[in-house]
Homo-oligomer: A and B are copies of this chain.
Amino acid sequence: MLELPFALRPGEDAPLYEQLYRRLAGQIQAGELAAGSRLPGKRSLAEALGVSVNTVDTAYQMLAAEGYLESRPRSGFFVQEIPPGVWAGAAGPPAPGPAEPDSPFTPPAERGASSAGGEAAGPAIGPPVRFDLSTSGVDTQLFPFRTWGRIQKELLYSSPELLGHGHRQGDENLRAEIARYLSGYRGVRCSPEQVVVGAGLEYLLGLLARLLAGSTAAVENPGYARTRIILGNNGIPCHLLDIDSGGLPVTALAASGAQLAYVTPSHQFPTGITMPAGRRAELLAWARGGPGRYILEDDYDSEFRYDIRPLPSLQGMAGPEGPVVYLTTFSKSLAPSIRVACMVLPWPLLERYHAMYGVYSSTVSRFEQQTLYRFMEQGHFTRHLARLRKAYRLRMEGLCTALEEAFGPGRLRLQGRHSGLHLLLSLCGDQPQATEQQMARAARRAGVRLAGLSSYYMARPELCPPRTVVVGYAGLPPEGLVPLARALARAWLG
């Protein structure tokens, strides 16, 4: 059934996994691979193609994330049913003609009509992306161009010493500002000596993993697949623990035998759950209950809380000697392209850090470090955060209103409005029995890129609430809220 072997061409137009992805997507679109059929096992396909198992796995995961395939635990990958007409626009300009009347999703009238709003990133499949609801976006219009630019200019002409080597943990004045900010806003208890500044959380997590070599980690399921990959790449095997209504369950954590617990207690990613105080205390007690145990607290978006002040960090509960590594990033509060993240190490790990990384240099440009330092020290950062918080809260509220109006009463449920830059949208009521993956495909066909909640499940996707997608709204322009809501309603309600 599968036309094999593909002629994958190393080093040609695209990486092998992308070539394989495109080839398979094309066959599924063309109907060459029937809905419900099982794809070959990763290992045997890899062997047949002469590529690595990783390559096949990456392609399969991409296809599953886009709704072409369904991953069934212990069975393999199966071709998803695709409503007729869905792929009409994929290979070229959209084909005209009426929608299939019995398809759960009718192609929206404006399909492919506008390409002004954005360009498709990644492999070109389907119409242009008008709205990108991925969770990694931010609104670059909110970046403090004037102030940042002024400070950068001042530094460039006045500070040639910034061309030399800096401290490997980051410049001391910047670390002091960060410690002060984290103390005031997140209750983090640390001195600047404990702060390590680095070019992104992925980099810092890699350093940390090697500091903790020999441990195993428990990570939240659903959660950040990236965390698991980074820890795995750095030699830390991960147990996937299913979260409950309070986040990571400590009983399961203890039973897993892991020494490390990676958690997002302020705003669980992607469900938005805030870990209650009782669970936090249990988690800390677990960490204190055995040698070499650490909580890795990823506080990735706690700047954006719209109702009450967030609970202080777990690190603050544990104290500077306690078993918590606090991690956060400036990607969302400034811009993803400004590569500054930081971690706060407890004293015992700090000593290990110095011994292991004594010869390393900082990975962050000193000009950006010093621009950020002055930006914080002159009070711009807290003002900027207040402005961001207000803008994103208005956007979230505007989006919820627009969605409720477009869908009508009782047809959707929105969760996670209190915090962060994304929320969960579930279809409910009596509309067609669409699956989450059909929702994602129909949205994509209408020019909206979004992911189903199940794509954040690294195991046991059957636990995922049905018909729920993740809506990241930070990158949405305010004027796009109503058109987006209407496009989704048309795509899903017909």
Contact = CB atoms under 8 A, between A and B. Distances in A.
A160 B146 CA distance: 12
A351 interface: yes
Nearest to A193: B11
A321 B166 CA distance: 37
A103 interface: no
Interface in A151-208: 152-153, 156-157, 160-166, 191, 193, 199-200, 202-203, 206
A33 B320 CA distance: 36
B153 A140 contact: no
Interface of A: 10-11, 15-17, 51-52, 54-55, 57-58, 136-138, 140-141, 143, 145, 148-149, 152-153, 156-157, 160-166, 191, 193, 199-200, 202-203, 206, 210, 225-226, 229-230, 233-235, 320-321, 335-339, 347-348, 350-352, 354-368
Contacts of A164: 137-138, 140, 335-337
Given A11-B193, A355-B52, A361 B202 contact: yes
Given A337-B162, A359-B229, A152 B145 contact: no
A58 B355 contact: yes
A59 to B, nearest CB: 10
A234 B235 CA distance: 9
Given A52-B355, A141-B160, A160-B140, A199 B364 contact: yes
A160 B136 contact: no
A156 B156 CA distance: 13
Nearest to A56: B355
Contacts of A10: 347-348, 351
A15 B145 CA distance: 38
A357 B206 CA distance: 12
Contact of A54 (B199, B347, B350, B352): B352
A368 B157 CA distance: 16
Contacts of A165: 136, 336-337
A213 to B, nearest CB: 8
Closest 5 pairs (CB-CB, A-B): A54-B355, A199-B363, A163-B335, A337-B366, A140-B163
A1 to B, nearest CB: 25
Contact of A363 (B203, B229, B320, B361): B203
A108 to B, nearest CB: 27
A344 to B, nearest CB: 13
A136 B168 CA distance: 14
A419 B148 CA distance: 40
A361 B336 contact: yes
Contacts of A54: 352, 355-356
Given A355-B55, A359-B229, A143 B160 contact: yes
Given A57-B355, A203-B199, A356-B54, A156 B160 contact: no
Contact of A163 (B17, B143, B191): B143
A182 B136 CA distance: 34
Contacts of A352: 52, 54
B363 A17 contact: no
Most buried by B among A163, A193, A362: A163
Contacts of A210: 233-234
Contacts of A156: 145, 148-149, 152
Contacts of A360: 202, 226, 230
A471 to B, nearest CB: 19
Nearest to A191: B11
A431 to B, nearest CB: 34
Most buried by B among A54, A157, A233, A234: A233
Contact of A355 (B17, B225, B336, B362): B17
Contacts of A137: 164
A61 to B, nearest CB: 9
A197 to B, nearest CB: 12
Given A163-B143, A233-B210, A339 B363 contact: yes
Contacts of A206: 206
Contact of A58 (B160, B339, B354): B354
Contact of A365 (B136, B356, B368): B368
Nearest to A121: B165
Given A148-B156, A203-B363, A234-B234, 4 more contacts: A10-B347, A15-B354, A152-B153, A152-B156
A358 B200 contact: no
A356 B234 CA distance: 11
